[in-house]
């Protein structure tokens, strides 16, 4: 089974591919991009939920750090959720300039956020939670977002 770091890093890459597919479809037709947008948002939300409800919770319980890196990552998730919502509104309004402006901002935030998680938080989590890695990855894999 994957380590926590491997599993979540691979999921970042999967979400990145969905983002690229969404942007590619939007370049042709905003209306045609709605399905790709929905898939990207749903899968990104699933990723955030895996982190927030499982990995962050386990990390905080093990380390006692609740106002450290997990708090910052949760804050960034809120910001990115808001951008994704605004992108959806731009899609509905068929506003290509706004959609691509927001997607560019989101891409920058995602890249910075993912780098911090992959280089710092996932490494810390793996160090503190290595004995529980299989159980935690299994919990994340089983998550379904409503």
Residue whose token pair is 């990552």: 73
Q: Does residue 146 form part of some domain?
A: no
Q: Are 83 and 64 in contact (CB under 8 A)?
A: no
- The parent domain of residue 34 ranges over 4-141
pLDDT tens digit sequence for 100-134: 999 999 999 999 999 999 999 999 999 999 999 99
Q: Does residue 32 form part of some domain?
A: yes
Total of domains in the chain: 1
Q: Does residue 130 form part of some domain?
A: yes
- Core vs surface per residue 114-136: b (16+ CB within 10 A) or e: beebeeebbebbbebbeeebeeb
Please state whether the predicted TM-score (pTM) of the whole model is above 0.85: yes
Q: Does residue 26 form part of some domain?
A: yes
Position 19 scores a pLDDT of 97
Q: Does residue 50 form part of some domain?
A: yes
| pLDDT confidence band for 1 (50 / 70 / 90) | low
Residue whose token pair is 């706004």: 98
| pLDDT confidence band for 2 (50 / 70 / 90) | confident
CATH number at residue 114: 1.20.120
The helix, strand and coil proportions of the chain, stated in percent and rounded to the nearest 5, come to 90, 0, 10
Confidence check: pLDDT of 76 > 60: yes
pLDDT tens digit sequence for 6-21: 999 999 999 999 999 9
């Amino acid at each position: 089974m994957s380590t926590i770091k491997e599993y979540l890093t691979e999921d970042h890459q999967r979400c990145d591919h969905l983002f690229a597919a969404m942007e590619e479809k939007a370049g042709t037709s905003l209306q045609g991009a709605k399905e790709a947008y929905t898939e990207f948002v749903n899968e990104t939300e699933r990723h955030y939920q895996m982190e927030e409800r499982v990995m962050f919770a386990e990390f905080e319980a093990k380390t006692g750090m609740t106002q450290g890196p997990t708090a910052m990552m949760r804050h960034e998730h809120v910001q990115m959720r808001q951008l994704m919502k605004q992108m959806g509104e731009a899609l509905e309004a068929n506003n290509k300039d706004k959609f691509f402006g927001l997607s560019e901002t989101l891409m920058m935030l995602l890249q910075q956020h993912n780098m911090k998680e992959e280089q710092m938080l996932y490494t810390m989590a793996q160090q503190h939670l290595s004995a529980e890695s299989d159980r935690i990855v299994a919990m994340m894999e089983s998550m379904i977002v409503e």
